[in-house]
Structure 1
């Protein structure tokens, strides 16, 4: 069961990082410029965008959304859509 949860969480992190990267590219800003503008460290933004963070907080996601100039619920909605409505962290 722990292995299933770990794999599922990894899928969430990878999908989230792709969403963040896609929106950042749409802004036309570099990773470092948008990190500075959002009040996040360059390393925090980089970790989020490259799926190198295993424990991203809600407050960090809110800062990322602010930096991307989109509402947080847009990121969450895209995550839900991309993972699929049948996605679960629980072992079946």
Structure 2
């Protein structure tokens, strides 16, 4: 096989691999966007029901006493725990 034919063959293979990769990444991105939309709706629902309270941003510090007080007052929500796990994994 000539060098030119070999290069064309390798370029075609590379293009095929790139197309598959980008198709997989596009599908993954679409799934993540759908999950984010669903989680956003759940947060809005929880906020509206009073199960979760959004607070304004606080200054960054090593100690965050308001979070500890909040965690003591509200039982752990399995949806929020799952969301936290997904964020940690991401």
Q: Same fold (TM over 0.5)?
A: no
TM-score (norm 1): 0.38
Higher RCO (CA-CA < 8 Å; seq separation 6+):
1
Tell me which structure has the larger Cα radius of gyration: 2
Which has the larger share of helix? Answer: 2
Q: Report the TM-score when normalising by structure 2.
A: 0.39
